[in-house]
Structure formats: structure tokens, C-alpha cells
Structure 1
Amino acid sequence: MLVYPKGRNTKPPVEKKIAETILGALVIGTTLAAGPIAGTAGFFIAVGAEHLLFRKRDFSRETKRLQKQGYIALTKTDKGLILKILAKGRERYRQMEIAKLKISKPDHWDGKWRLFIFDVPEQYRSARDMMRTKMKDLGLYNIQRSVLVYPYDCRSALEQIAEYYELAKYATYVETNFIDIDRELRRHFKV
């Protein structure tokens, strides 16, 4: 992965976009059509109704890299290449999805607090700590070691994170209108 210094262009490299497109399409079972465009050095990928254009060289390099890393399998046929996602590729795609996960904030707060409570056995400490860190990165506030709070709807994102770390059975999501530290939380979240 390329890392850009601060102040420089922080757009993701073309290869990352190609990898996300390929893995994403294969994970959801979409037919992935790819081929050259006549008269250009371009290469297109059709994912459903979306068509993306990449340089053929970039596409070829990225598919070979994904194959070498064990994310996809490439099979040559008389009609072209067939790409198939492997288990390692599915896992890599899940990692990419969790890494770019965001919680949207509505314009107005509905007055409800969302609590995420978990009681994870010590044997899963590493996963628990990573889950807690990810949730804090998303803006949740720790009111106790295993209780986090957020003012906006975040259920699907939190469930997705708990499932990713395989800790969903140890977690509970609660929505409430009352919490005794309301003033502190309003000040923290500026609501």
C-alpha cells in the first residue's frame, strides 16, 4: 500500500480501487465483465450498471497481484479470463469494508442514546480490544470499560463490527431516552 505524506494528494492509488472493485463484485456474486476498449489503452470493468475505466496495464498487474496473494483464482478460457474469489479474498474484502465503515450523522438529534454493551470472555481479549478501538475510532464514547454510547442511530454499523470480530453473541445494543449522565454526554457530543 502506498502512504502519502501529509499535505500531498491522499487519493487512493488506482490499484486499490481496482482491487476493491474486483473483490467487491466477486463477493456479492456479480458477473464481472472486463475487456479492452477499441482504440485506447483503457480497460473497463462492468459491475452491474457501473462501468469503471482503468489502464489495461494497471488492471493486469492488480489481478496478478490478487492471484499471487491468494485472493482470487484466474482461469483462462477461449472467451477471456474468469475471476473467482477465494476464501482469503472474501476475508480481505471484509477487512476493507470494516476499515472504511462510517456512521452517518443526521441533521437533528432524536433525543435517544444508543448504548453498546458487551461482556466478552477474557480468552477473546484481543478481538474485544480491537472491536472497542474500532468503535472509539467511529466516535463512540466509553462510559464504562465495556459500555459505549452514541447519540445517533448506529445499530447496523455496530452489529457489522461485532460480527466481523465474531463477538456478536457477547454484545447488546440498547436505545434509551434517559441516561443519568445526560448532561456530560450532551456536552461531549455537542447535541
Structure 2
Amino acid sequence: MKKQHKELLKISAKELLLSLFDLSVPFFQASSIYRKNANDYINERRLERSEFWDRVKYLRRMGYIQTFVDKNQKYLELTKKGKLRGELFKKEIKEIRHPIKWDGKFRLVIFDVPEKHKTERDLLRSKLKQLNFIQIQKSVYAHPFECTEAIGALTYNYNLSDYVSIFIADAILGEENIIDHFLDRKILSKKDLRALVNKN
């Protein structure tokens, strides 16, 4: 049980590191100091304080962050080791691979994540957008290529496997607009569409 708790703590601490210090945000790109007000973050995310500070203790013990007080406010600051680790985390799943031929189907990622996992849910949404999924509804995203393994690994890393499902759809209402979306972003090509027409 202790081992399982430790593994869950590692996962949640990793999510906290990524959400606290999003290295893609212009502020962080332009600054040599990666700093966040702890109370502001807790209030923004409506987090359980004891759980939050457990994660912080783990990250501090690993040497990824340091804490300090300034004008009665507690801050978290990313260390050089933490910055490198955060960049490695963000590189874990870079893209959904383009198959030789598109099968004409769509992969739907559908999730219903409880509010207590808001941080992880926001990270999942952000990652799906990075992977060029299109948002169809609030918690429904689509992609034309096989991605079961990648999404499975992603949801496992975020400890959200119980809340996420993947479906394969032969057709989607309004798919012409969805196809145009992927064509505009060069995820699909005219060649993919021609191959699909020839197949049919």
C-alpha cells in the first residue's frame, strides 16, 4: 500500500511540476526565474492544501523546486534540475504518427474527470491540443490517426485511466468541417483523401 501511495505521489507531483511551471508560456520563456505564488495556485485550482503540500515536499526532496517566503507570501521556485526534468516530461509524447494510408476513421477521446482531478484534467486537455486533436465538445476530442497506445500512456501518466475512453468512428456528424480542420493544419493531405476515395 505504501509503495502504491508513493507511485501515485510521483505521478501527481509530476503533474504539479508541469502545471506550475508551463515552460511554453511566454513569461517563463523570457524569464530566467521560474516562480509561483503557492496560495494563488491553490486558490485558482481549488486544491486540497494537505495533498498539494505533500506533492511540494516530494518535488523539493527530489531537488526540482525550492520554497521561500517573501512579504508573508510563500513561493515555489523551479531549480535548474527541475527545469530540465520538466522539459523531459513535456517531450514524452510529441506527436501522433501519420500512417502510410489513412483508414478514413476518427479516434474519439471522451472523458469525464471529477473536479478533484481538475489539474490533471486541464493537463490532459492541453496535451490533446498539443497533439493536434480537435475539440468537438467540452470533453470530446477527435483525431484521424491511430492513437490508442499514446493516449493510454498519457492517461496512465496522469492517473486518469479510469475516466477516459477511446472510440473509433466510421463517421462523425459534420465531419466535412473536421476534415477541413485537419487539412488546414496539414495533419491530413489531399493524398489521404484521394486514397480514401479510391478505396471506396
Larger strand percent: 1
TM-score using structure 2 length: 0.47
More helix by share: 2
Greater relative contact order (CA < 8 Å, ≥ 6 in sequence): 2
Report the structure number with the largest CA radius of gyration.
1
